[in-house]
Amino acid sequence: MFRTIARIGYVVLGVVHIVIGVVAISFVTGGGGGEADQSGAMEQIRQAPVGVLLLWVIAVGLAALAVWQIADAFLERDPDAKKRWGHRVKFAGTAVAYIAIAWTAAVTAVGGQSDSSESSQTFSAQLLATPAGVVLLVLVGLLIAAIGIAFIVRGVTRAFKKHLALPTGAAAKGIVTFGVLGYVAKGIAIGVTGVLFVVAALTHDPEKAGGLDAALHSLADLPLGAVILWIVGAGLAIYGLFCFARARYARM
């Protein structure tokens, strides 16, 4: 039963990424407002029919998935100590991310608001106000950027395949292709988020820090930004579709 709920967690994670990807593409097409991040996705979902119910499903599914990740961290038994602790840190970090999204879904479901960009700016301002705040904020940015790079590497090397019990034939090729595109797109978005924290630290301006929404807007401001944002937005939506396949084929 719990395994099934955890698999549902991957499904709802896919829904969230598809919504974020669609909102990101709307920046280019001028099709609407909203924030292209977890909080913006939750607001979009709440406005849909039975949106509040879906938000609670998202919260429960991702909470279950977080618990599963924590269990994996405790049960990790790789004989290589460095790899073992590396896997444990990865599982724990993933669990924290799932809990954060689940919390955002729950807050939105009860009518509250959660602005990730505002939270990032507040966090940056508080950190900059402390001794060695600039150094600490740079380290936070570099850590986030490193997570983004890890996503890209995981996609390019297809490292995610070892966690899947893939079917045979064209279905497997399609799932792997979606995984590669999705991981790379998500890695780019996370990496840019990390860069924004570094910029905020070096300029002593916490307002330059932001979440995923700010990162995607920054991509739009680059040369050929519309094309880049289209690609990243589509990639995030594809990552969402990959999550659907992950729900079915993940080794759990």
3-state DSSP of the chain: CHHHHHHHHHHHHHHHHHHHHHHHHHHHHCCCCCCCCHHHHHHHHHCCCCHHHHHHHHHHHHHHHHHHHHHHHHHCCCCCHHHHHHHHHHHHHHHHHHHHHHHHHHHHHCCCCCCHHHHHHHHHHHHHCCCCHHHHHHHHHHHHHHHHHHHHHHHHCCHHHHHECCCCCHHHHHHHHHHHHHHHHHHHHHHHHHHHHHHHHHHCCHHHCCCHHHHHHHHHCCCCHHHHHHHHHHHHHHHHHHHHHHHHHECC
CB 230 within 8 Å of CB 173: no
Tokens of 29: 């097409």
Phi/psi at 168 (nearest 5 deg)?
Answer: -100, 165
Cα(188)–Cα(193) distance, integer angstroms = 9
Segment 221-235 mean pLDDT: 83
pLDDT for 117: 65
The Cα-based distances of 247 to 1, 204, 240 in angstroms read 14, 42, 11
Q: Which domain does 166 fall in, by range?
A: 2-249
pLDDT at 33: 55
With CA atoms as reference, report the closest residue to 206 among 117, 132, 75, 107.
117
pLDDT digits (tens, 9 = 90+) for 73-130: 787 766 777 777 777 787 788 888 888 888 888 888 887 766 666 677 777 888 788 8
Q: Specify the number of domains making up the chain.
A: 1
d(CA 50, CA 81): 47
Cα torsion 152, 215, 34, 50: sign: positive
Residues β-bridged to residue 250: 164
Residue 143 contacts by C-beta under 8 Å, 6 or more apart in sequence? 194
pLDDT digits (tens, 9 = 90+) for 32-77: 556 666 777 788 888 877 888 888 988 888 888 888 888 877 877 6
Please tell me whether the overall predicted TM-score, pTM, comes out greater than 0.85 for this model.
Answer: no
pLDDT value for 174: 92
Distances (CA, A) of 28 to 17, 24, 213, 231: 17, 7, 13, 11
Tens of pLDDT, residues 147-179? 889 999 999 999 999 888 888 888 899 999 999
